[in-house]
Amino acid sequence: MTMKSAPIYFDNAATTPMDERVLEEMLPYFKNNFGNPSSVHSHGRNARETLEKARKKIASLLNTSPGEIIFTSGGTEADNTAICGAIETYGIKHIITSPIEHHAVLHVVEHEVKEKNIRLSLLECDAEGNLNMDQLALLLEKEPNSLVSLMHGNNEIGNLNDIERIAALCKQHGSYFHSDTVQTMGHYPIDLKALPIHSLSGSAHKFHGPKGVGFIYINKTKKINPLMLGGGQERNNRGGTENIAGIIAMAKALELAFDDQASHAEEILQLKTYLKSQIEKNIPGVTFNGLSGNLDKSLYTVLNVSFPPSENNQGMLLFHLDLEGISASGGSACSSGARLGSHVLNALEADPSRENVRFSLSRFNTKAEIDHVVKILAGLYQA
């Protein structure tokens, strides 16, 4: 009887496994140090002290002040807060974004445009997902008091945007710049003293922390009205009792990510390079969506593969991989049940006859896992 191989997880862009050191850091805050940080007694004071230490740690890692870090339930809340808050606070009447943003940005933008009669400009992108920066410059010159929301790294096709250039353009024209940095936070160095950005978002479960906790950075010169109203928590920036255990874990996870960021990047890029070369070697006719196949211009964690049509698979490639214990994605996990498929690949006018699989890697993956995955893929594509 053939023994089934251990499960292989190649969907780290959807969520990452929690680092054991992060779990150990957060466990005491479920059992013993469980106080409400808004309470004035000793349990509450201890929780408040712990909360502010975590805030200072994250602020230090990003080279900013603790008062500019606001804890949220995750990246979606952070994106919603930044966009809605900027619109309300600064009377924004024009939004610039792109058709390949995460739905946490696109859906709230669509809602605000409809409800508040705001003009929307979507940047053009080519077949590789490159955004038209000349168009951005022209739009900002025409309407300087705009809100620009453009992600740092695309979760589906791995494209990296030049947020330094975008920030400089927004600063030049007096526009508000928000970036969804959920896919790059903890994976790339971010210096908020050097980057003239007004807000950005992070989510712990994308860098080996827990789900359900994230943060938003809001530059002190461009404060915005809160989205969540309540008991005045987070210095009146976000109502709701803080998730102490999650916040402690997030700070630890980000610290671990930045401690070894360069070595992690090199290690994971080597895995991605190997995965790409082995897929090309063993399966004729594969291509790569967006810039994910360009090892110099894309997230080192993401490889989005376009497979040729196959009689063996007939649209069931992900299903066959799952049967073999291999977890990967056909696009963003947040839209995996959508009938229309990936809005990102649709924007790139990808060939609908081909099957697309996003493999996303972490430091917990191995070369042996890649060998097994490629062996399964090659078997599925044999005549």
81: its two tokens = 């807060």
User: How far apart (Å, rounded) are the C-alpha atoms in residues 110 and 372?
Assistant: 42
Query: Is residue 5 scored above 90 in pLDDT?
Result: no
Tell whether 33 and 169 lie within a shared domain.
yes
Please give the average per-residue pLDDT across 43-62, as a whole number: 96
* Percent of the chain residues topping a pLDDT of 70: 96
User: How far apart (Å, rounded) are the C-alpha atoms in residues 128 and 26?
Assistant: 41
Tell whether 169 and 270 lie within a shared domain.
no
Last residue of a domain, one of 259, 288, 322: 259
- pLDDT tens per residue, range 228-237: 999 889 999 9
Last residue of a domain, one of 242, 259, 276: 259
User: How far apart (Å, rounded) are the C-alpha atoms in residues 264 and 268?
Assistant: 6
Query: Is residue 339 scored above 80 in pLDDT?
Result: no
Tell whether 108 and 207 lie within a shared domain.
yes
Please give the average per-residue pLDDT across 326-340, as a whole number: 66
**353 vs 297, higher pLDDT:** 297
Residues 6+ apart with CB under 8 A from 266: none
pLDDT given at position 22: 98
Q: What is the CATH number of the domain that holds 367?
A: 3.90.1150.10
Please give the average per-residue pLDDT across 350-354, as a whole number: 89
User: How far apart (Å, rounded) are the C-alpha atoms in residues 355 and 306?
Assistant: 6
The reply to whether 3 falls in a domain is: no
**Model confidence band, residue 331 (pLDDT cutoffs 50, 70, 90):** low
253: left (phi over 0), alpha (psi -120 to 50) or beta: alpha
The reply to whether 337 falls in a domain is: yes
pLDDT given at position 353: 87
Please give the average per-residue pLDDT across 137-166, as a whole number: 97
pLDDT given at position 3: 55
pLDDT given at position 340: 67
pLDDT given at position 4: 67
Tell whether 194 and 105 lie within a shared domain.
yes
How does 200-212 read in b/e, with b if 16+ C-beta sit within 10 Å? bbbbbbbbbbbee
243: its two tokens = 């998730």
**Model confidence band, residue 316 (pLDDT cutoffs 50, 70, 90):** confident
**Model confidence band, residue 55 (pLDDT cutoffs 50, 70, 90):** very high
Tell whether 165 and 45 lie within a shared domain.
yes
Tell whether 179 and 286 lie within a shared domain.
no
Please give the average per-residue pLDDT across 125-145, as a whole number: 97
Domain coverage including residue 71: 20-259
Please give the average per-residue pLDDT across 158-175, as a whole number: 97
User: How far apart (Å, rounded) are the C-alpha atoms in residues 350 and 333?
Assistant: 18
pTM of the model: 0.94
Tell whether 25 and 73 lie within a shared domain.
yes
Tell whether 76 and 161 lie within a shared domain.
yes
Other C-beta atoms lying within 10 Å of the C-beta of residue 362 = 22
Tell whether 278 and 218 lie within a shared domain.
no
What positions carry a catalytic annotation?
Answer: 334
How many residues are listed for the chain in this entry?
383
The reply to whether 343 falls in a domain is: yes
* Closest-CA residue to 217 (of 75, 110, 94, 117): 75
Q: What is the CATH number of the domain that holds 134?
A: 3.40.640.10
User: How far apart (Å, rounded) are the C-alpha atoms in residues 109 and 129?
Assistant: 20
**Mean pLDDT over each residue of the chain, to the nearest integer:** 94
The reply to whether 2 falls in a domain is: no
The reply to whether 1 falls in a domain is: no
SS3 286: coil
Last residue of a domain, one of 259, 278, 306: 259
**Model confidence band, residue 287 (pLDDT cutoffs 50, 70, 90):** very high
User: How far apart (Å, rounded) are the C-alpha atoms in residues 381 and 176?
Assistant: 49
What does residue 287 show for φ and ψ, rounded to 5 degrees?
-135, 180
Residue 210 CA, distance from chain mean position: 14
The reply to whether 174 falls in a domain is: yes
Query: Is residue 335 scored above 50 in pLDDT?
Result: no
Tell whether 119 and 187 lie within a shared domain.
yes
Sheet holding 355-360, edge to edge: 287-288, 302-307, 355-360
Tell whether 220 and 344 lie within a shared domain.
no
The reply to whether 375 falls in a domain is: yes
Long-range contacts of 23-30 (CB under 8 A, 24+ apart): 23/249, 25/248, 25/249, 25/252, 26/210, 26/245, 26/246, 26/248, 26/249, 26/252, 27/245, 29/244, 29/245, 29/248, 30/245
* Percent of the chain residues topping a pLDDT of 90: 89
- pLDDT tens per residue, range 86-121: 999 999 999 999 999 999 999 999 999 999 999 999
User: How far apart (Å, rounded) are the C-alpha atoms in residues 56 and 47?
Assistant: 14
What domain count does the chain have?
2
**Model confidence band, residue 173 (pLDDT cutoffs 50, 70, 90):** very high
**Model confidence band, residue 40 (pLDDT cutoffs 50, 70, 90):** very high
pLDDT given at position 332: 46
Least confident of 264-268, 309-313, 366-370: 309-313
User: How far apart (Å, rounded) are the C-alpha atoms in residues 242 and 47?
Assistant: 10
Tell whether 161 and 111 lie within a shared domain.
yes
SS3 11: strand
Sheet holding 119-122, edge to edge: 69-72, 214-218, 199-203, 176-180, 147-149, 94-97, 119-122
Find out whether 175 and 164 touch, Cβ atoms under 8 Å. no
The reply to whether 149 falls in a domain is: yes
Least confident of 63-72, 93-102, 273-282, 308-317: 308-317
